[in-house]
Amino acid sequence: MASAETERGAPFSLDSYYVSEELGFVLPDPLENLPPYYQPWMEIALHVPELVDSHDLRSHINKMPLLSTEFLQNHRELRLAHLVLSMVTMGYVWQEGENDTVEMLPRNLAVPYWEVSQRLGLPSILTHADAALANWRKKDPEGPFELENLEVLVRLPGGDSVKGFFLVTLLVELAGVPAIRSIPAVINGVRCGDTEAVTKALENIGQSIQDMNDALKLMHVYVDPSVFYGVMRIFLSGWKDNPCMPKGLIYEGVQTEPVEFSGGSAAQSSLLHCFDELLGVKHEEKSRAFLTRMRNYMPPAHRKLIQDISLQPSLRGFVQQQANEGLSKAFDDCVSKLLALRSYHINVVTRFITVPAAKARQLRKNSHESDGEIVSRAPTSLEERGTGGSGIMTFLKTVRDTTKDVLLHEARKETVHENCHQ
């Protein structure tokens, strides 16, 4: 794979990073089935919600044959295998909620899962790259990328809300595709001093980030906060920084010591990391450490793209040096749109985690009233944490506030500060 440091004269391109011209980081045309040999995996994966509901998933997995991974021939087969084994693993670990977790993943699941993960360069846990980027199909192949024309391949407990959560996240990723496509134009424009090209590309990126924000608003339409908090959330949680599983998880037949992996998180989206590196956002130490760790949960080629963007000449420095009003405005508008997206994400987290957590606490105080309330099923130990293991509100607000620091004009900083804290 070409590096940003080789062939310095060559224009920066997305060609070597497995980024689709049409779909960006989304996996094009995911397979819907594995070769017949792997049907024991598929049969369980397609019925995870029902098997969790009947408390039979673990017994089904324990009877599953130990299959070789040698018949998985290509990238799309490996991605579907990883998605399928991830969903099955999350169901196995969290079948009984926070009170009866497991210490060991059985060999017949752990060994092939680990092997598939190693081949892909992904961890052996459900990631954003699985649940959002590789878990979709169009009902009408010729139809539009709209939620009504999309279906997930496999799902966790949570009914229509879990489907909505994964597919809205997919639509947010797709809304960011024009931004990703414009990044080479920014980098190449900075390299050769083309102010006009950089300005136009930044305008495209800003519009694309706005479209991501608009797509994220669909979360309120398609996902029930009570179902997300009370049913789905534990199945998205990992075994790192999680009081429910303080020791992590042993993968039988792979390692004798427990391993810790974080659950799925928006911080695993390569889009936001690309924007931060391009715009020169410097997060404070604790946030930076978490975000850097989240890059290990991305496909290696996407991780490499983020790293290579970070090695390019400073865009912000170029904008300051050019002292061009149109360019400066395009840069600040881009940062402002990213700030607005991060502020809106805080709004979503408030509605889907903070408010239901407060309601669950209140119901526990009046325990006789909690019968039948979905939010009451949620694990108490995760009330203040994201599924990735972060102290979620502090983290999100810190990340938003450090984004504001790259704005060039003080007046705009004040305006954005007011908007962000209303």
φ, ψ for residue 170, nearest 5 deg: -60, -45
20 found inside a domain: no
CATH of residue 351: 1.20.58.480
114 found inside a domain: yes
421 marked ligand binding residue: no
Range of the domain at 70: 36-415
Would you give the end-to-end CA distance of the chain in angstroms? 46
Which structure tokens are listed for 374?
């979905």
294 found inside a domain: yes
pLDDT at 8: 55
pLDDT at 99: 84
13 found inside a domain: no
Tally of structural domains, the chain:
1
136 found inside a domain: yes
Provide the b/e sequence for 370-409 (b: ≥16 CB within 10 Å).
beeebbbbbbeebbebbbbbbebbebbbbbbbbbbebbee
pLDDT at 358: 82
pLDDT digits (tens, 9 = 90+) for 237-268: 999 988 889 899 999 999 999 999 999 999 99
Angstrom CA distances, 6 to 116, 195, 311, stand at 31, 25, 12
Q: pTM above the 0.75 mark?
A: yes
173 found inside a domain: yes
Low-confidence ranges of the chain (pLDDT < 50): 1-7, 368-371, 386-390, 411-412, 415-416, 418, 422
240 found inside a domain: yes
pLDDT at 422: 44
360 found inside a domain: yes
